[in-house]
Amino acid sequence: MHDTTVLLIEVGALLFGLGMLGRLSRRFGLSPIPLYLFAGLAFGHGGLVPLSASEEFFAVGAEIGVILLLLMLGLEYSASELVGNLRSNAPAGLLDGALNAVPGALFGMLLGWGWQASLVLAGITWVSSSGVIAKVLADLGRLGNRETPVVLSVLVIEDLAMALYLPLLTAVLAGAGLAAGAQSLAIAVATVGLVLVIAIRWGHVISAFISARDPEALLLGVLGLTLLVAGVAAQLKVSAAVGAFLVGIALSGPVAHHATQLLSPLRDLFAAVFFVFFGLATDPKDMPPVLLPALALAAVTMTTKIITGYVAARRAGIAVPGRVRAGLALMPRGEFSIVIAGLAVATPGIESELAPLATAYVLITVVTGPMLARLPDFAWFKSLLRARRRPVTQPQPLPSTD
């Protein structure tokens, strides 16, 4: 059978199956993300029926999925809102790094790994999955919630930090000297700063070049610009996701509004492809030996993420339910964690257990995270929060009988 024919059959069958899984999950009020991941595991390396012809298609589609998820997040907010949120939530970003990177590094040392592998594990546990969280917020209808800008600010700070961390980590793993690492870091800082300045100062000019009246031109223009900027950012060793997010920030007015409507179906399609590819690239046989360490690490760092979101939302003056929602939303790890693990696996001498541990860890957080994020929507959980917030009334003294 011709390769193209096999490709069409595999992609068509898998997408149709994902549609049925998505319908099933929504019937029970669940996020479809865990089902997409398990579908990828079932048809990936070591799965029940491995797919071969469509693997490259899903790899490219997964990249586009992350880019579209971050673009759509950026379209929800203006450049001034971004800068204001970054300034107000910078302390929360520092707390996020301390609470979530340090446990990963310490865990690597407890396992007897070298400092390079421990540095890698620190990055894996530090950064949340912008793609997964964006999908969860959209699925749960929380994009307009008061705590959502706080969540997005923490994610943007993490993504910007990754723009600095990844070039530094690449230099460390390659055994490069201090000068090479500093050069990579300087390029990353300059690129992020330049895109931010353009987004803030000339975003309205960019929007003026894209017609909001012609749906076809708007779709092609916004999508093309986003992929172009994301590709240039990745070439300069800056996250493609950060570039896509900043494109969304730069667009404003009717262009942003109509682009959101046009791109939503594309986002849903490629986001599903992203989660499936994550499962396709994982061999289930590698995970049982590292499952217990991964569970322990996930339990610790999911708790620290809840603390991060709770503190950040409290600083923004958000009530307790919103603080809890913010903390639970930040738990999943995903695309950056896998990228970091991939860099380490390609480096000779790095511990062989790192890749399966990272995969099991990410799967645990990305499956349980969306499920736990739904807790604040249940009546019993709301009642529990109200009971904890209710002030304890002191017993009144009995009237004197004298």
Closest CA to 331 of 76, 72, 136, 123: 136
Q: Are 294 and 360 contacting, i.e. CB atoms less than 8 angstroms apart?
A: yes
For residue 222, give both structure tokens.
């916004």
Q: What is the dihedral of CA 368, 374, 376, 379, to 10 degrees?
A: -120
Q: Annotate 169-189 with b (16+ C-beta within 10 A) or e (fewer).
A: bbbbbeeeeeeebeebbeebe
Give the separation between CA 203 and CA 78, rounded to whole angstroms.
Answer: 9
Give the separation between CA 46 and CA 42, rounded to whole angstroms.
Answer: 8
> Which residue spans within 107-222 are E strands per DSSP?
none
CA-to-CA separations, 376 to 323, 324, 368, in angstroms, rounded: 10, 7, 15
For residue 380, give both structure tokens.
């019993």
Give the separation between CA 389 and CA 400, rounded to whole angstroms.
Answer: 33
Structural domains of the chain in order of their starting residue, each with its CATH number: 3-377 (1.20.1530.20)
Question: What pLDDT is recorded for position 106?
Answer: 94
Question: What pLDDT is recorded for position 392?
Answer: 45
Question: What pLDDT is recorded for position 336?
Answer: 74
Q: What angle do CA 333, 336, 337 make, to 5 degrees?
A: 55
Length, in residues, of the chain: 402
Q: What angle do CA 374, 151, 321 make, to 5 degrees?
A: 50
Q: What is the DSSP string of 241-268?
A: HHHHHHHHHH--HHHHHHHHHHHHHHHH
Question: What pLDDT is recorded for position 145?
Answer: 87
Residue 313's φ and ψ, nearest 5 degrees, are -70, -35
Closest CA to 157 of 91, 64, 63, 99: 91
Q: Are 105 and 121 contacting, i.e. CB atoms less than 8 angstroms apart?
A: yes
Q: What is the pTM of this model?
A: 0.71
Sort 23 into a burial class: Cβ within 10 Å, 0-12 / 13-18 / 19+: exposed
**Positive or negative CA dihedral for 267, 20, 336, 89?**
positive
Question: What pLDDT is recorded for position 215?
Answer: 85
Q: Are 187 and 167 contacting, i.e. CB atoms less than 8 angstroms apart?
A: yes
Give the separation between CA 287 and CA 294, rounded to whole angstroms.
Answer: 9
- pLDDT tens track of the chain, all 402 residues? 567 888 888 888 888 988 998 888 777 766 677 788 788 878 876 667 777 667 788 888 888 887 887 788 778 766 666 667 667 777 888 889 889 999 999 999 998 888 888 888 999 999 898 878 888 888 888 888 888 888 888 887 887 777 677 767 777 776 655 566 667 667 767 776 776 677 677 777 777 777 777 888 888 988 998 899 888 877 776 667 777 877 887 787 788 888 888 888 888 888 888 778 777 766 777 778 889 999 999 999 999 999 999 999 998 889 888 999 999 999 998 767 877 776 676 677 777 788 788 888 988 898 888 889 988 888 888 888 777 665 544 455 555 554
Q: What angle do CA 327, 330, 335 make, to 5 degrees?
A: 170
Give the separation between CA 247 and CA 244, rounded to whole angstroms.
Answer: 5
Rg of the chain (C-alpha set): 22
The amino acid present at 77, given as its one-letter code, is Y
Q: What is the dihedral of CA 123, 124, 130, 135, to 10 degrees?
A: -170
* Placement of tokens 């520092």 in the chain: 94
The amino acid present at 349, given as its one-letter code, is G
